[in-house]
């Protein structure tokens, strides 16, 4: 049996999208106050702020301190699969890519925990440290490339050539999806922290923990981008 687990900020984000679409808010229109929105949506102020921050980072709303929250691009808000500037719309949406990564990379991390060599583990440790340095100086393009390399190395270590072929064939899409979470500079270090958690599970040879840590990372990366997707979890 399966259930769908969704984080509260994610639920709030989708509820705001629906509110704007259903009530016909246009560019420049002010949304209800944050207090009223939180009450109306049945979420905490903290969860509401996180949802608004994600939508603001995508350029879909504008949060103006002391003034309110204003709609910027309602056409994009009603299309949850849409991400401004996504260059691969004809091939797959960002939601599609994050769902693929959730399934494929979670399984690959579980495999890698059982097969990873000492040299491969050392290379991942070097990668994680290099990402920390790049994030500290704000080089998000370099961090995104290191992010891609971290995930690629885990797929290679897992030893499943079919999965590696999927990554090779869609490398541009994977890399672009790994750039998206860095639109929120204030949360960029979360990627590094999640990589460390994955690395610790791999070092312990804990297959289940590595798979779970990877899936949580992909899901969180999507949420940092303002993207939500459903994923089945065993109950």
Integer Cα distance of 97 and 133 in angstroms: 27
Read off the tokens for 49.
């702020």
Q: Are 85 and 58 in contact (CB under 8 A)?
A: no
State whether residue 9 is helix, strand or coil: helix
Q: Give the span between the Cα atoms of 28 and 70, in whole angstroms.
A: 6
Q: Report domain extents, the chain.
A: 2-77, 94-234
CA pair distance 231, 235, nearest whole angstrom: 12
Please state which CATH class domain 94-234 belongs to: mainly alpha
Angstrom CA distances, 76 to 81, 126, 156, stand at 9, 39, 37
Looking at residue 107, its pLDDT comes to 95
Q: CB neighbours of 208 closer than 8 A, spacing ≥ 6? A: 110
Global pTM reads: 0.65
Distance CA 167, CA 174 (A): 7
Look at residue 233 and give its three-state secondary structure: strand
| Separation CA 142–CA 139 (nearest Å) | 6
- Across the chain, mean pLDDT equals 83
185-206 average pLDDT score: 93
More confident residue, 195 or 12: 195
At 122, is the secondary structure helix, strand, or coil?
A: helix
Distance CA 27, CA 77 (A): 11
Q: What is the pLDDT of residues 41-73, one digit of tens each?
A: 888 888 888 778 767 765 678 888 888 888 876
- pLDDT computed for residue 79 by the predictor: 43
Distance between CA atoms of residues 69 and 30, nearest Å:
6
Decide if domain 2-77 falls under CATH 1.10.10.10. yes
pLDDT in tens, 104-118: 999 999 999 999 999
**pLDDT tens for residues 117-159?**
999 999 999 999 999 999 998 888 888 889 999 999 999 999 9
Please tell me the distance from the alpha carbon of residue 24 to that of residue 21, in angstroms, as a whole number.
5
């Amino acid at each position: 049996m399966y259930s769908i687990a969704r984080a509260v900020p994610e639920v709030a984000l989708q509820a705001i999208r629906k509110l704007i679409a259903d009530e016909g808010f246009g560019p420049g229109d002010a949304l209800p106050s944050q207090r009223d929105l939180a009450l109306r949506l049945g979420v905490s102020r903290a969860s509401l702020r996180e949802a608004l921050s994600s939508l603001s980072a995508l350029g879909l709303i504008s949060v103006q301190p002391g003034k309110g929250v204003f709609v910027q691009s309602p056409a994009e808000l009603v299309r949850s699969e849409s991400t401004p500037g996504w260059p691969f719309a004809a091939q797959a949406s960002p939601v599609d890519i994050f769902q693929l990564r959730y399934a494929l990379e979670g399984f690959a991390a579980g495999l890698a925990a059982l097969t990873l060599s000492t040299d491969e583990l050392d290379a991942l440790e070097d990668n994680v440290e290099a990402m920390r340095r790049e994030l500290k100086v704000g080089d998000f393009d370099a961090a995104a490339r290191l992010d891609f390399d971290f995930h690629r190395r885990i797929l290679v270590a897992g030893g499943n050539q079919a999965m590696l072929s999927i990554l090779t064939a869609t490398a541009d899409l994977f890399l672009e999806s790994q750039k998206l979470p860095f639109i929120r500079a204030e949360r960029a270090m979360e990627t590094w922290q999640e990589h460390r958690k994955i690395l610790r599970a791999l070092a312990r040879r804990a297959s289940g923990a590595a798979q779970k840590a990877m899936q949580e990372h992909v899901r969180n990366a999507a949420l940092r981008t303002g993207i939500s997707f459903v994923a089945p979890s065993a109950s």
